[in-house]
């Protein structure tokens, strides 16, 4: 009773191991969360162990607010938002400008990023474009 157990959790953060000290027994749910959900997590190397522990506790406490395997980022059903763009003539000067040209490499990177956001449900295709 009252034992402090030193537990080590391995995060992919510059190949360094983070040591987290917890009072009492480690919950299996917390262990699963750290080993599976945070296995690709990276924490700033300037954070203290206490700050990393607080971050892990915060992420665990509010894990339902973040992306999961079954509920991807941006797919919050029942909370859709309709954005109506109202651009009447005459158009504002900034909207009359031609689009900025992008290099083929930059355009390709943008397309990959946009496809990723569409797959996550953050963006969706609208219209005929």
**Block mean pLDDT (10 aa), the chain, length 129:** 45 42 62 81 88 89 74 64 72 65 86 90 77
Q: Confirm whether 57 is domain-assigned.
A: yes
Separation between Cα atoms, residue 98 and residue 113, nearest integer Å: 22
> How confident is the model at residue 30, as a pLDDT?
84
Query: How many separate domains does the chain show?
Result: 1
Q: Confirm whether 80 is domain-assigned.
A: no
Separation between Cα atoms, residue 89 and residue 80, nearest integer Å: 29
Task: Name the residue among 95, 18, 5 with its Cα closest to residue 55.
Answer: 18
> How confident is the model at residue 26, as a pLDDT?
56
Q: Confirm whether 37 is domain-assigned.
A: yes
> How confident is the model at residue 54, as a pLDDT?
92
E strand or H helix that includes residue 110: helix 104-120
Separation between Cα atoms, residue 68 and residue 70, nearest integer Å: 5
> How confident is the model at residue 74, as a pLDDT?
58
Range of the domain at 24: 4-65
Distance of CA 108 to the CA centre of its chain: 22
> How confident is the model at residue 24, as a pLDDT?
44
Q: Confirm whether 49 is domain-assigned.
A: yes
Supply the pTM of this predicted model.
0.38
Q: Confirm whether 45 is domain-assigned.
A: yes
Separation between Cα atoms, residue 77 and residue 70, nearest integer Å: 13
> How confident is the model at residue 93, as a pLDDT?
67
Q: Confirm whether 13 is domain-assigned.
A: yes
Q: Confirm whether 107 is domain-assigned.
A: no
Q: Confirm whether 71 is domain-assigned.
A: no
């Amino acid at each position: 009773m009252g034992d402090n157990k030193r537990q080590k959790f391995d995060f992919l953060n510059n190949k360094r191991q983070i040591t987290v000290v917890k009072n009492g027994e480690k919950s299996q749910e917390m262990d699963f969360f750290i080993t599976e959900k945070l296995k690709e997590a990276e924490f700033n190397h300037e954070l203290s162990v206490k700050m990393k522990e607080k971050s892990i506790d915060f992420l665990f406490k509010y894990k339902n607010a973040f992306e999961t395997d079954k509920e991807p980022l941006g797919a919050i059903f029942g909370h859709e938002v309709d954005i109506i763009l109202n651009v009447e003539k005459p158009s504002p000067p900034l909207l009359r400008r031609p689009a900025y040209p992008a290099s083929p490499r930059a355009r390709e990177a943008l397309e990959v990023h946009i496809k990723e956001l569409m797959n996550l449900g953050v963006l969706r295709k609208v219209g005929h474009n």
